[in-house]
């Protein structure tokens, strides 16, 4: 276990992510820490789940994913350890691990406080719990020591029906549609599905199965979300 | 000395930080470079000092912190080396190291130009001075070679009385208040101090001792700064 | 070959860069991956070329630069391998490598699909082609195996005459002017060239040969672009 991939909604304007890496460097100096993404919109558990769904398959075997999108920090919500055939995960029990592309073969509750920092705050478990536990796993800790096994998590998010799940940096609207469709309707307009951006004219609106493996609404070399005032949660009409 | 932690106000939209890492990779390929934070607001020395104050304790022994928030770059301002019992520091002599949580046991002026890049610009000492000096320290350079010892820096910032020091990514307003208080008044409203975010109702305003070890003004799963138009430098009434 | 430097317009709000690093970690775990910059404005090939021009000299010998600013992704545009005396490059054939500071001594077309991920999407070649090819080069692949040699790329961008090429994080307007001038005229005002920011009064407008080795328009401890509504592509009058 040498790769730790971090996914948070902390952004990079504050030292939150840097401090997590400081904790990891102290406990597992040999670990290779990769920033999967810190741009999950604040408290948007569904976006975090989407980013994990789109990403884990591309990481090496035995990578440990640490997901901290955690609006319930400081409450009684549990912290989970999960294991699939290829990967390991730490995340709050709030649905963040709902959409993994491989089945979870082992769930545990992370509750062994000896593995945490000596003083655990009520606001920053990324630093006080997730980082030290991740580092100890990377350094060889047996998952048995984390806490008892669990049948299943308390929260499991259903996959949403035909809506916008996220807006990316280019203004593409990532939908939940992964079945093959030919056109979609959105805000009164019909948008044709193309094979790639380059099949549309400059400035044309199109839909394309994009980087997430999902249908995205785009403008060729433009910003769909800005042009159409698109936002997360909006319903798309994609037929049956 | 294997961890170099970078703190700047360079942001990540330009190649400034990447170039610093290129310089370090050439001179100290074995060093582990961690981005502590590059989101310090432009030229905001106090925010940089705050981020250091909140972070260094979580880093391993012998980490070297490189702080480049440097509105005086190109002027006659000095560059400092500092050492505490656990850590090493490089920073301009502008107050950036004022609020470290451990006492400085050694100050030096960094003035040995043989350690810099051959050509030093007047605008980018992060690349031309800080990065190569940090790399050489990581590669084993004795701090004696940096320049003469110093009694104390020219600039030492006082800890501000009861005001907003920074706004974080979630819109929390981080204040300078670290003593225990029960309520604060801000813009005519009384805000109660809670143990954690989860002790407030969804959308409720609260204060909490947060990730910085300081009192923060927050909205439960909301954005305090946006709601109250909060900004850095505003005074908080927290009683005695 | 142990340093891979990534330059993209992906930003950091999405998991795109993290996924590229996951692919690299699987194929070249020993490589040292440096984020040169992911803040290239979306689809702005010229800004990407500028960032490369300003940065490569500061990286160690044999570094591999992977440039993914790729509005033509999914079209028939080629992917290039380039080699200078000191460095290696992968980039789309769209002009991104036009302004390197060292001559290219070898061009190749990257077309050996055995080196790509098994399934290549039409929207994310950063993940499906650039990352695995970069990793394999870092792991020792001979460039001969990438594809046939090429006389020259299809697209070569001319260096622009006296205009604003980019706006940096501090609001400085980076121009294409690298010859020595004493003043410039912009939007009806004459701006004097100073040696460094500190030679101007607080809040004064100045021009300075900055971190890019190019003339920049600045406000001392202020934001030139915001004050003057400066934007990319605007012409500067700098005399002959």
pTM for the structure as a whole: 0.97
Q: Which two tokens stand for residue B142?
A: 């004795």
Q: How far apart are CA B92 and CA B220, in angstroms?
A: 38
Find, in chain C, the residue whose alpha carbon is nearest to that of A62.
C26
CB–CB of A36 and C13 under 8 A?
Answer: no
Each residue's pLDDT tens digit, A57-100: 999 999 999 999 999 988 889 999 999 999 999 999 999 999 99
Share of chain A above pLDDT 70, in %: 100
Which of the 8 DSSP states describes residue C5? E
Average pLDDT, chain A: 96
Query: Using 50, 70 and 90 to split pLDDT, how confident is the model at A108?
Result: very high
* pLDDT, mean of residues A129-150: 98
CB–CB of C35 and B18 under 8 A?
Answer: yes
Each residue's pLDDT tens digit, C84-130: 999 999 999 999 999 999 999 999 999 999 999 999 999 999 999 99
At residue A38, does pLDDT exceed 80?
yes
* pLDDT, mean of residues A207-217: 95
What's the complex ipTM?
Answer: 0.96
CA atoms within 13 A on the CB side of B153: 26
Query: Using 50, 70 and 90 to split pLDDT, how confident is the model at C64?
Result: very high
Average pLDDT, chain B: 96
C239 interfacial to chain A (CB closer than 8 Å): no
Q: Which residues pair with B37 in a beta bridge?
A: B7
CB–CB of A123 and B197 under 8 A?
Answer: yes
pLDDT at B198 (0 to 100) = 87
Task: Give the gyration radius of chain A's Cα atoms.
Answer: 19
Mapped onto helix, strand or coil, the DSSP state of residue A98 is coil
Class of residue A43 by CB neighbours under 10 A (exposed 0-12, middle 13-18, buried 19+): middle
Each residue's pLDDT tens digit, C69-96: 999 988 889 999 999 999 999 999 999 9
A208 interfacial to chain C (CB closer than 8 Å): yes
Query: Using 50, 70 and 90 to split pLDDT, how confident is the model at B239?
Result: confident
Each residue's pLDDT tens digit, A156-194: 999 999 999 999 999 999 999 999 999 999 999 999 999
CB–CB of A211 and C42 under 8 A?
Answer: no
- Strand (E) positions, chain B? 3-8, 32-37, 64-68, 79-83, 88-92, 106-109, 149-150, 164-167, 173-175, 183-186, 189-194, 205-209, 215-219
Mapped onto helix, strand or coil, the DSSP state of residue B56 is helix
* pLDDT, mean of residues C168-197: 95
Find, in chain B, the residue whose alpha carbon is nearest to that of A10.
B169
A2 interfacial to chain C (CB closer than 8 Å): yes
């Amino acid at each position: 276990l040498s790769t730790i991939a971090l996914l948070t909604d902390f952004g990079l304007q504050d030292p939150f992510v840097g401090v997590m890496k400081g904790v990891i460097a102290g406990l597992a100096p040999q670990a290779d820490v990769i920033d999967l993404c810190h741009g999950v919109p604040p408290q948007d558990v569904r976006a975090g789940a989407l980013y994990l769904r789109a990403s884990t398959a591309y990481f090496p075997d035995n990578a440990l994913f640490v997901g901290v999108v955690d609006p319930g920090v400081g409450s009684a919500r549990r912290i989970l350890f999960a294991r699939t055939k290829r990967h390991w995960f730490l995340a709050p029990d709030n649905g963040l691990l709902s959409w993994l592309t491989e089945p979870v073969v082992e769930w545990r509750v992370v509750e062994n406080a000896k593995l945490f920092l000596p003083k655990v705050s009520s606001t920053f478990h990324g630093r006080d719990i997730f980082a030290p536990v991740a580092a100890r796993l990377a350094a060889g800790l047996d998952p048995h020591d984390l806490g008892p096994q669990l049948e299943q998590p308390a929260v499991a998010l259903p996959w949403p029906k035909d809506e916008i799940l996220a807006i990316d940096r280019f203004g593409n609207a990532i939908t939940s549609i992964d079945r093959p469709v030919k056109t979609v309707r959105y805000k009164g307009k019909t948008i044709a599905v193309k094979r790639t951006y380059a099949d549309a004219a400059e400035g044309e609106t199109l839909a394309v199965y994009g980087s997430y493996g999902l249908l995205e609404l785009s403008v060729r070399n433009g910003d769909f979300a800005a042009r159409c005032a698109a936002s997360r949660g909006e319903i798309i009409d994609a037929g049956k």
